[in-house]
Each structure stands twice: as structure tokens, then as C-alpha cells.
Amino acid sequence: MYVTSDGEILSGHQRFDAAKELGSKKVPVVILNNLDFERRRGVNIVFNRATNDMHKNDSGESLSERLPMSVIQEAVKDLPDIDPNSEEFFPCMDSTMEDTREVMGKNINHFLYHAIRQAESLYHWASTSIPIVTTKKKKIVNGLGRLQHASEVGIPEVQVIVIDDKKSELAAVLLNQLSMDFDLMDKYADILRYNSFRRASNRQEFLMPTMCCDLISAMSKSGKTQRAASTFNPESQKHVTAWKRWYGETVLDFGAGLLDKSLVMRDVMNVDCVAFEPYYTGGKDSGFDIEAARYITDVFLQRVAEGTEFDSIFLASVLNSVPFSTDRRRIVTIVSALATPRSTIYAGAISRSSDRFLAATGAKDNISNHETQFDSSFAAGYEEGVIVADLMKHPKAQKYFTVDEWKELWSEGFSDVESYLYKPNQLVQVIARDPLPVNPKELKEAIEFEFGLPYPNDTLDRVDQALDAFSARLQMAI
């Protein structure tokens, strides 16, 4: 078991419960120190996956479906009971340090890249590793990925636990195919929500494709050719004039991230661009500027209350980072309430045909500079197309969409919805018009969610102000 100095279990919850049920009075533990709250949550998830030599798309549920119960039942028949308070009950206490190259030489096998990256995460971020389990002849029972990581980075010795050959088949099944299925939607919900922030490394000085790709296509010779977003030059008066004719002069950047695109539209293109970003970081890669986020929200809500009509509302890859379907539907409800009959919604998201998704699921080689992230990422399991990554720094869930999913989502708030795939960036795009009638109860729930979003030790704390602003805008009690 792996615990903090305060006794918080990071790995071994099921082993602890089993030991108590069997009557064990003590259990051996490894104490990990100096892990903050987020790091402990990340370590908890990584331990779960690093213990089992999992592949990218494995989950506790998928492993249990393949669990050969007949093998387990047959093996258990021939094994004697063990006193839960005897030394034999804890073979981990008899581990030895063995030469990595020697053990590796007896286990030449295909590389388990996902398992290697999980082992790397534990070694780098938590300064620990899980022992390798072998037979007496040093054949791996469990821990091939951990062994391969040690060999890869040049760790001279690995901790080895040797078990009897009679137990090896059963041990291999239980250690590699029995896993706890994490309830990410319950235990990690708020962490995944506030880690949706845009990383400072993503700052850009040009518009996102969602903010200009339809215009770029219309300006092509055929009027339909999809071209890169960089074709649009925000410093070109000709381009800006065409942009304003297409998108209008008063726009909303909903989920503005670092505000870099909002500032391009406002300061470079002279567009009345209103921004809303609840998780503003001030350009930092970690931590939030909560007061700045509240100020941005206050300015936005003032324009909402004043009844500002937005010609266009942009959501550029915003909903990729919203981890749960209920949350995404709430955002669509809010955007629908912000739109007027003359507003057009331009919403884009990274698709499941993108290189990023294919790399994250192991269907394609990793992308340069995202290598470790995508090797250690895995399918969340609670919804199709959701990938969990960046576990040890800022655990984050990313939802990747199909064109049909994207259209279905926006059809919950609009009657006129067109969706398509923007191939230069493999984005699903939607153009939505004609907002559906406001449901006051649903809008109230959506506002309470969005304007009370969690921070690590706080909330956005703008629910009352938002309810007042939307009530004034819509001239109805919410």
C-alpha cells in the first residue's frame, strides 16, 4: 500500500479492505511525502493504471469483462489458506533488488508504451515505483511496463517480489486483470472542471478557425474551398472589412481562455468584442487569477444586463475541455439565452478524426511535443470520446466529438443547426441560429452551475449577479 504521512491511501484501497475482512491486524505501507492535493489525486489515478500493465483503452470494467473466472476458481482449489497475520501473507516484505538488465534479458517482449509512461509518471512526480513480480526464473508475472521504464531510463536495479510457480498463473490474472474502476464523475468532477483552463503555452496572435473559417471558405475562388485559418490576416484592412460584413461588429467570445483572440478582435480589428472566461489564469501555466476572472465576468454580465445584441457568438474549442455532458448542455442553454433571432453561433471543437485524438487513443503515432501526454493518456470510460491526460500536473478530461454528436448537442438550444468537418484542422464546426424558447428552470440551473464554477479553494461566486443580469436581459424572473 502507498499512503501519505497522514494515512491517506493513495494506492491499495481494495487490498486494505480485503486485509481487514480477512482479519489482518497490520499491513505494510510505503509513505509518500510532499504531495499537494492535485498531485495526490493524480497519483491515485496513475497507481490504479500502473499496477495492472494496462493498455490505453483498458478500464476496470473492460478488464473485468475479460477476467477468466474459470481459471481463478480452478487455481484457488489447489492453494492452501494463509494466516493473514503471518509473514507469508505479505510476500512484498521479502522483495530484493535485482539487476535491471538481467531481468530485462529474461523478458524480451513488445513494449507496453502506456504502462511505461504510467511508471514514468510515478517515478518522476511521486519519486516512487511499484515492485515487479516474477517467478523464481525471473519471468514477469506483473510489472512489465515498470521494468521496461527502468531499462529505458537506465535505473540499474529494480525491486522484485518472487512468487511460487504454483501461484504465478493466478497472480498474473489477479494483478493484471483485476482493477478498481475509478468514478471520475464523482470523485474527480471538480478537479476536471477547473483544470479545463487554457494553458499559457497555447497563447496565439491570430484568430481560431472557428472565428474565421467560414469567411475564408467563402472568399476562395470556388466559394467552398476550406483553407487554413492563417489565411485570414487580422491586420489587413481588406480582410477585416470582409470579416465585419460576415460576422458583424459586436461579438461574444464565450470561453475566451487567455483572452488573446478577444484582444486581437478588439485592439487589432476594432471589433466590439465582449469576453467571458471563468477560469482565467493571467497567462500562467498553473493557478488562477480569480479576481481577474471575476472582473471579466462582471464586465460580461453588465453587457448581458444592458441587453447587448451579439451579431456572432464564438465558442472555439471550449467544449472539448468541459468534461461532462450535463455541463456542456448547460453551456448550450446559456448561449441560447444570450442569442437573439439575428445572432449566429459559430462553435468549433476538436474531432475524433484529429491527430490529437488518434494519438491519445494509440491509433496513431504520437505528435511532436505532446509525446508523454498522449502516451500516458487513457479513455475515461464514462463517455465515448473522453480522454484523461496530464495526470500528475493538472488532470484534465478532453471530449472529442463526431459531426453528428456536435450537431445533436447544439440542436438542444437552436432550431437551425448546420454541422460539418473543417478538414484543415479536423474540427467539427457548427453554425446555429434561431434560439429555442427559454426554459426558466433549466436556465436557472445552468446559471447556478456556470457562475458558481469551482476553484481549488473557492468558486467563481457570481451566481446572484448572473441571475439578475439574465433576468434583466430576458425581462423574466429566473
Is-contact 120 145, C-beta < 8 A?
no
Domain residue limits, the chain = 2-182, 192-474
Is CATH 3.30.70 what the domain over 192-474 is classified as, yes or no?
no
Q: How far is Cα 460 from Cα 423, in angstroms, rounded to an integer? A: 36
From the list 30, 34, 37, the residue with the least C-alpha distance to 15 is 30
Contact 451, 442 (CB under 8 A): no
Q: Are 321 and 331 in contact (CB under 8 A)?
A: no
pLDDT, one tens digit for every residue, the chain (478 residues): 999 999 999 988 888 999 999 999 999 999 999 888 777 877 887 887 778 887 777 766 676 677 777 767 877 787 888 999 998 999 999 999 999 999 999 998 777 887 888 888 888 878 899 999 999 999 999 999 999 999 999 999 999 999 988 888 888 888 887 765 556 666 778 878 887 765 555 667 789 999 999 999 988 888 889 988 889 999 999 999 999 999 999 999 999 999 999 999 999 999 999 999 999 988 666 678 999 999 999 999 999 999 999 999 999 999 999 999 999 999 999 999 999 999 999 999 999 999 888 887 777 665 544 434 445 677 777 899 998 887 666 778 899 999 999 999 999 999 999 999 999 999 999 999 999 999 999 999 999 999 999 998 899 999 999 999 999 999 999 9
Residue pair 349/427 in contact (Cβ under 8 Å)? The answer is yes
> 53 vs 16, 57, 63, 136, 386, CA distance in Å?
21, 12, 11, 20, 21
Contact 45, 35 (CB under 8 A): no
**Who contacts 435 (Cβ-Cβ below 8 Å, separation ≥6)?**
336, 337, 339, 340, 341, 343, 413, 414, 415
Beta carbons of 401 and 351 less than 8 angstroms apart = yes
